[in-house]
Amino acid sequence: MAMPAAARMAGEPGQAGLAAASRRLRPGPAGSQAQGQTQGRVLPRLFLFSDRLRLPDPRAAAARLPPGAAVVARGLAPAVLAGLAALARRRRLVLLVAGDGRAALRLGRGLRAGLHVPDRHGTAGLAPFLLARRARPGGLLLTVAAHGRAGLARARRLGADAVILSPVFPTASHPGAPALGLLAWAALARRAGRPVVALGGVTGANAGRLPRWAAGFAAIGALAGAPRRLWQTSHSVSGMSR
């Protein structure tokens, strides 16, 4: 008898299991409300986040990601960020710069790029980024972090392509901090009005527990050692969010 898909994912190593779970996503209820707002843009299904303590230099991990995956650069040293941009061009990755709209515009020449707006920190250069984004329909991506309703409201005001909603599970980045849990995460995601990506303790072992209509998975540790065979990791927001 064939093993159920969820059981297979739980038994696979973290990176391969997370990639397998992402291939089974069928964005629907939350993402369908974003139809027309993200027309023509492509949203990755896997997002590798850098981290000042856990992953201050994501270049080695990013080099193992497949084309179409995204790297969210948070607080990187200038030399590391420049090297990551060069790597993203070669590997055809999406580079999202956190909290700095001007840097996102500067580094976005010659590669798919965009801005990630943190939930609890300010974003420099947001206005010029939004103006440039309006002039380049289908180009620059905009993601917004959210931990609750206020973050979802900010994403709607800014016209974000996607919300990174966290933490769905307990996470090593914030030990001891309460997680949303599956039910609260799904309830918030349904209110988003745009595609929602799950962040916070997401691994290959638990990704299958999230709704299949989730837009994607974001992680630090679970993707930091990701092998090259992560298969297809992107989808059209306009085509897959109906």
User: Which CATH architecture best describes the domain 15-240?
Assistant: Alpha-Beta Barrel (3.20)
Q: What is the mean pLDDT for each group of 10 consecutive residues in the chain (242 residues)?
A: 41 62 74 45 92 94 89 96 96 96 91 94 96 87 97 96 96 83 97 96 93 95 63 40 30
194, 10 Cβ separation under 8 angstroms = no
Output the pLDDT for position 136.
82
- pLDDT given at position 4: 43
Domain ranges for the chain: 15-240
* Residues 6 or more apart in contact with residue 33 via CB below 8 angstroms: 192, 193, 194
pTM of the complete model: 0.84
Q: Is 25 left (phi over 0), alpha (psi -120 to 50) or beta?
A: beta
Q: Look at residue 175 in the predicted model and tell me its pLDDT.
A: 77
